[in-house]
Each structure stands twice: as C-alpha cells, then as structure tokens.
Amino acid sequence: MSTPSRATVARVRRRGERGSMAVEVVLLIPVLFLFVLLIVMLGRYVAVRGDVDATARDAARAASLEPSRQAADAAARSIVNASLDSETTCGPGGIDVQLDWRPEGQVTVELNCTVSFEGLGLIGVPGTVGVGGSSSIPLDPYRSYS
C-alpha cells in the first residue's frame, strides 16, 4: 500500500476548505455592521451633548444681558427652545434657570434633555437617552439689577 503524496494531501485539504472564507465573511459582516452603527451612535451622542452644553452657555449669556429677572428667565428659555433640534427635547422641568440677580451675582442654566435613538442615528429603534448640560455666567459688578 502506497502513501499519498504531499500534493494529493494538499488538494484534498483545499477541497475540504472550499467555501470556508465565504462562511467567515457572512458571519463577520453583521458584527462589523453593528460595530459601525455603535460608532455612529456614540459620535452623534457626543455631538448632541456638545449642542446641549452650547445651548446652556448661550442661554446663560443671553439671560445675563437682560435688565430684569423676568426678562432674563424668558430670554434663557427662548434661547433653549430655539437652539435645540427636533430630536432633542427639554421638557418644562428640564430647563432650570437660577438667578442670583445682584451685582457680582451669577446666572446658571441647567438643562436636562432627552434625545431619541433616531436622533442618535439609530433609525427605527424606539427609546430615548438623557443628556444634560449646565453653564454659569457672572453678572456685571458695575451694573444695577432690578
């Protein structure tokens, strides 16, 4: 009885492994796709968080320039409502404007908002995630406040 040659053994091995690469690719593509979606979602979350922080800063700055407490509160809320996109919502309790309305006081705006998963790039996925931000702006020490 003769032993098979190396070439014959290599051919048999190659025939047995045919299609294995296709199976590996079919199994890896969904994993890679989910990984890319996760990266998109995290990038969008960082962008939304930056938007909320910038909105809090802009609202505090606008409030600090107003002549009265009522005008400052209204200015801060209008900036928040105008600045955020439709997927990011800060409900009535999500906008907190704290006014230390005196020379050398400060205006603090805290936002607690929610953004839908669709707003994070996950189209068709239900649910929301919370995003918060705050900013404090000092008031002018040489101005009178009513």
- Is residue 110 predicted with pLDDT exceeding 90? yes
User: Coil, helix or strand for 55?
Assistant: helix
The per-residue pLDDT for 112 is: 95
| Both tokens assigned to 53 | 């922080």
What is the mean pLDDT of the segment spanning 11-35?
76
Could you give the C-alpha distances from 36 to 40, 116, 122, in angstroms and in order?
Answer: 6, 19, 11
Asked if 61 contacts 27 with a C-beta cutoff of 8 angstroms, the reply is no
Residue 77 has what pLDDT? 93
Which positions ≥6 away from 60 have C-beta within 8 Å?
A: 76, 107, 108, 109, 135, 136, 137
For the chain, give every domain's residue range.
Answer: 6-138
Give the pLDDT score at 21.
75
The predicted structure's pLDDT at residue 11: 58
Between 7-21, 27-41, 76-90, 106-120, the lowest mean confidence (pLDDT) is in 7-21
When the pLDDT of each residue in the chain is averaged and rounded to a whole number, the result is 85
84: three-class secondary structure by DSSP: coil
Q: Does the pTM exceed 0.75? A: yes
Q: pLDDT by residue (tens digit) across 43-102?
A: 888 988 999 999 999 999 999 999 999 999 999 999 999 999 888 888 878 999 999 988
Give yes or no for residue 1 having a pLDDT over 60: no
Collapsed DSSP state (helix, strand, coil) of residue 101: coil
